[in-house]
């Protein structure tokens, strides 16, 4: 039995997804397009082949870099088919840059762009306060960086420290860092939360990929626009980020940033610092275990992208088709309007009205024609009236005939009359009942039982038997 197109497409989709449920592809981005829904459509290519790819809105928002054509990346996802276009594609769950060469190329290009705008102008840098009362720190609350900064501040000069916990790499890190810098600047002096006198944006060392969140444009612009002096302490001494160029002061390490923020003072109590560090480790351990349990439960749930992926893509296709269809229909309507607008000129309309008056004058009725039609109709009516009179069943009664009835039934033979016994004779002037008597052998009716004979009108002939 033949398969339908949908059945065959579903079989192919299940086969491809079962065989290639997890793939990692390295290639160059080509034809990148962001739909209005937030989904990203692109192609990955190498020297000899091209494969289409789609990244849903949630995955695209988690990218640690700005995807663009010409960048070589490593995409992780699964292979699937799209029955609406009879082709296969890779549904990308995550994407990373392929090697430091591509990252450095993006780094240099963005550095030149922001420098041309004046964000790295040394004349805009402000001095760091000598004795800050409040220090704001933007970093991860669970890493070693915050412990080092707090430890060094406590050793050198006890200060009021506000920590804005953020992710320093991975999904959502860029937005959190920029929001933290802007959030500290939005604190009003004299409010319930003290406004920091200096900010430290810090992160530990790592590869260029690990530090990439501090090279994103949104973070660099937030640091450059901060109303509070900023110390950048990202990575080790040899690491450089765009955030370092936009800050008012660059520190080689997070520990050095703490030393630059405050002057030297007597040693603080080591016990307090150690207890604080132990508390941080306990909190970090508890949060990590809770995160592991949450991740284990999350794996049991179906992925929304897997369920809604084909529908999302179909919505995007239909939206594009609707836009093209509306444009085409508008063009056709304009063409049709142009065609018919020529027939609406006043001169043509007046000519049509004149021709209509002429046709109306030709078809007006003459009185002679109407009178002839009335005469013909009168003759037909008279003929029908005569026919009705000739077919009237009561007309013979006026000439002396009678109708023999049994109830409402007309008697048509003498056998029916004999069987009925009593009949009704209907004359022109009324009705009378009658009893049917026997008939003699010679066909004559017997004499009536009464001695009286029926009266005969003078000069009348005997009436013939109605039943003969």
Q: Give me the pLDDT at residue 466, please.
A: 43
For 115-138, how does the pLDDT look when each residue is reduced to its tens digit (9 = 90+)? 898 889 988 899 999 889 999 999
Q: Give me the pLDDT at residue 452, please.
A: 43
For 11-55, how does the pLDDT look when each residue is reduced to its tens digit (9 = 90+)? 777 777 777 778 888 888 888 898 888 899 999 988 888 888 999
d(CA 14, CA 81): 9
Radius of gyration of the CA atoms of the chain, in A: 55
pLDDT at 454 over 60: no
Q: Give me the pLDDT at residue 447, please.
A: 52
The answer to whether the CB of 422 falls within 8 A of the CB of 436 is yes
Q: Give me the pLDDT at residue 413, please.
A: 87
- For residues 169-197, average pLDDT: 91
Q: Which two tokens stand for residue 153?
A: 């501040």
Q: Give me the pLDDT at residue 202, please.
A: 93
Helix (H) or strand (E) holding 294: helix 270-300
pLDDT at 102 over 50: yes
Q: Which two tokens stand for residue 215?
A: 């090279």
Q: Give me the pLDDT at residue 201, please.
A: 95
Q: Give me the pLDDT at residue 365, please.
A: 57
- For residues 88-115, average pLDDT: 80
Q: Give me the pLDDT at residue 276, please.
A: 86
d(CA 292, CA 34): 33
pLDDT at 443 over 70: no
The answer to whether the CB of 39 falls within 8 A of the CB of 53 is no
Confidence of residue 453 (pLDDT cuts 50, 70, 90): very low
Which CATH number, 3.30.565.10, 3.40.50.2300, 3.40.50.720, 3.30.70.270, labels domain 104-266?
Answer: 3.40.50.2300
Q: Give me the pLDDT at residue 393, please.
A: 79
- Angstrom CA distances, 128 to 166, 184, 195, 231, 258, stand at 23, 16, 15, 8, 12
pLDDT at 435 over 70: yes
Domains 5-98 and 104-266 belong to one CATH topology: no
pLDDT at 235 over 50: yes
d(CA 55, CA 52): 10
For 364-415, how does the pLDDT look when each residue is reduced to its tens digit (9 = 90+)? 656 676 678 888 888 988 888 888 877 777 778 888 888 888 888 888 888 8
- For residues 302-326, average pLDDT: 84
pLDDT at 459 over 50: no
d(CA 158, CA 164): 19
For 203-234, how does the pLDDT look when each residue is reduced to its tens digit (9 = 90+)? 988 877 788 889 888 999 999 999 999 999 99
What share of the chain has pLDDT > 90, as a percent? 23
Confidence of residue 249 (pLDDT cuts 50, 70, 90): very high
d(CA 50, CA 150): 52
Tell me which CATH code domain 5-98 carries: 2.40.50.140
For 345-366, how does the pLDDT look when each residue is reduced to its tens digit (9 = 90+)? 677 778 888 888 887 776 665 6
More confident residue, 410 or 176: 176
d(CA 80, CA 463): 112
Edge-to-edge strand order for the sheet containing 160-165? Answer: 160-165, 134-139, 198-203, 230-234, 249-250
Segments of 4-139 assigned E as strands: 23-34, 40-45, 50-55, 72-82, 87-97, 134-139
Q: Which of 115, 166, 158 is nearest to 133 (CA)?
A: 158
Q: Give me the pLDDT at residue 138, please.
A: 95
For 87-98, how does the pLDDT look when each residue is reduced to its tens digit (9 = 90+)? 888 889 888 877
DSSP state of 302: P
Q: Give me the pLDDT at residue 264, please.
A: 76
φ/ψ (deg, to 5) at 264: -75, 140
Segments of 330-462 assigned E as strands: 403-406, 409-410, 422-427, 430-435
Q: Which two tokens stand for residue 205?
A: 């060392």
By three-state DSSP, how is residue 301 classified?
coil
d(CA 54, CA 57): 10
The alpha carbon of 95 is separated from its chain's Cα centroid by a whole number of angstroms, namely 28
d(CA 331, CA 342): 18
Residue ranges per structural domain of the chain: 5-98, 104-266, 396-435
């Amino acid at each position: 039995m033949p398969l339908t197109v949908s059945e065959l497409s579903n079989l192919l989709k299940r086969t491809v997804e079962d065989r290639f449920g997890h793939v990692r592809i390295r290639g160059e981005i080509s034809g990148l397009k962001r739909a209005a829904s937030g989904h990203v459509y692109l192609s990955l290519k190498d020297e000899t082949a091209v494969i289409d790819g789609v990244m849903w809105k949630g995955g695209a928002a988690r990218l640690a870099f700005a995807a663009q054509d010409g960048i070589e990346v490593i995409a992780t996802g699964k292979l699937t088919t799209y029955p609406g276009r009879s082709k296969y594609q890779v549904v990308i769950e995550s994407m990373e840059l392929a090697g430091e060469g591509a990252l450095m190329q993006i780094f240099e290009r963005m550095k030149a762009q922001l420098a041309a705008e004046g964000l790295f102008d040394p004349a805009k840098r402000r001095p760091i306060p000598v004795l800050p009362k409040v220090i704001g720190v933007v970093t991860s609350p669970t890493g070693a960086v915050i412990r080092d900064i707090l430890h060094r501040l406590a050793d050198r000069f006890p200060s009021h420290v506000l920590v804005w916990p953020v992710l320093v790499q991975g999904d959502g890190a860029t937005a959190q860092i920029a929001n933290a810098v802007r959030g500290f600047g939005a604190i009003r002096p004299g409010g319930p939360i003290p406004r920091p006198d200096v900010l430290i944006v810090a992160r530990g060392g790592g590869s260029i990929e690990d530090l990439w969140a501090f090279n994103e444009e949104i973070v660099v612009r937030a640091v450059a626009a901060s109303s509070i002096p900023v110390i950048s302490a990202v990575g080790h001494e040899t690491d450089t980020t765009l955030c370092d160029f936009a800050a008012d002061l660059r520190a080689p390490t997070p520990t050095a940033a703490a030393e630059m923020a405050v002057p030297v003072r007597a040693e603080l109590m080591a016990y307090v610092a150690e207890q604080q560090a132990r508390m941080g480790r306990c909190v970090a351990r508890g949060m990590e275990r809770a995160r592991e349990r949450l991740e284990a439960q999350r794996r049991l749930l179906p992925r929304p992208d897997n369920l809604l992926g084909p529908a999302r893509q179909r919505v995007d296709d239909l939206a594009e088709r609707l836009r093209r269809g509306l444009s085409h229909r508008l063009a056709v309507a304009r063409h049709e309007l142009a065609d018919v607008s020529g027939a609406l000129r006043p001169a043509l309309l007046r000519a049509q009205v004149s021709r209509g008056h002429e046709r109306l004058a030709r078809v007006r009725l003459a009185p002679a024609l109407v009178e002839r039609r009335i005469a013909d109709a009168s003759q037909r009516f008279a003929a029908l009236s005569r026919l009705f009179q000739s077919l009237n069943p009561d007309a013979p009664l006026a000439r002396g005939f009678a109708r023999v009835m049994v109830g409402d039934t007309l008697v048509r033979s003498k056998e029916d009359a004999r069987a009925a016994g009593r009949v009704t004779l209907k004359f022109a002037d009324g009705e009378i009942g009658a009893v049917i008597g026997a008939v003699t052998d010679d066909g004559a009716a017997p004499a009536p039982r009464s001695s009286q004979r029926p009266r005969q009108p003078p000069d009348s002939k005997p009436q013939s038997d109605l039943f003969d």
